[in-house]
């Protein structure tokens, strides 16, 4: 649409008496990240965007710029502003593999793995019988992220976090 790629987040097919059927949609512009609502006729057709996937590696963050390089080609580096990668920035740690989406020759977005392992750097002590609050506590991870975990998690444990929900999923095996 308008030469830019959009992702359909929601759609509703409406059929009213004595009117042509319409489709109400909620669309996300993949370049700007803006979400818009549009209505279309049931007969409208759109060209499917050709978007390629490319494996990338997160390197580091410096003053709001997040730097990545092509996997297997460390000289080819690109950066994203914090606004472009939005909520995903808090889950990034050096040497994390991500998937980059290319539209034409431009990389427009990144996608994190569903689960990433982190080391716990701060955790309050657990005491026997300390489950009156539901059996969870807040810990700080190596990237500064704070999440709720079960009481048995301690400092230096490796835990797995779901990047879509931001929640603890399991304790990972120690390496």
CATH number of residue 71's parent domain: 2.40.50.140
Residue 130: domain span: 115-171
Is 79 inside a domain boundary?
yes
Let me know whether 76 and 97 are in one domain. yes
Let me know whether 92 and 73 are in one domain. yes
Question: 148 CB contacts (<8 Å, ≥6 apart)?
Answer: 136, 137, 138, 167, 168
Let me know whether 148 and 160 are in one domain. yes
Is 55 inside a domain boundary?
yes
Average pLDDT over residues 146-153: 89
Is 21 inside a domain boundary?
yes
What pLDDT score does 134 carry? 66
Query: Does the structure show a pLDDT above 60 at 175?
Result: no
Average pLDDT over residues 8-22: 81
pLDDT digits 0-9 by tens, 87-140: 788 888 888 899 988 888 888 888 889 999 999 999 888 776 666 656 788 999
Q: What average pLDDT is seen over the chain?
A: 84
């Amino acid at each position: 649409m308008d030469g830019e790629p959009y992702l359909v987040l929601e759609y509703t097919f409406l059929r009213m008496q004595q009117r042509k059927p319409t489709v109400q949609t909620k669309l996300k512009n993949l370049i700007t990240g803006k979400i818009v609502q549009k209505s279309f006729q049931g007969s409208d057709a759109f060209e499917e965007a050709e978007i390629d996937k490319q494996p990338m590696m997160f390197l580091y963050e410096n003053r709001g710029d997040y730097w990545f390089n092509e996997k297997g080609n460390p000289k080819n580096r690109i950066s994203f502003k914090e606004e472009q990668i939005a909520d995903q920035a808090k889950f990034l740690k050096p040497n994390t593999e991500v998937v980059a989406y290319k539209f034409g020759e431009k990389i427009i977005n990144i996608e994190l793995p569903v689960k990433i392992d982190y080391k716990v750097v701060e955790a309050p002590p657990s005491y026997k019988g300390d489950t009156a609050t539901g059996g969870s506590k807040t810990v700080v991870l190596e990237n500064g992220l704070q999440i709720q975990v079960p009481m048995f998690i301690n400092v230096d444990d490796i835990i797995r976090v779901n990047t879509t929900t931001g929640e603890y999923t399991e304790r990972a095996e120690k390496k």
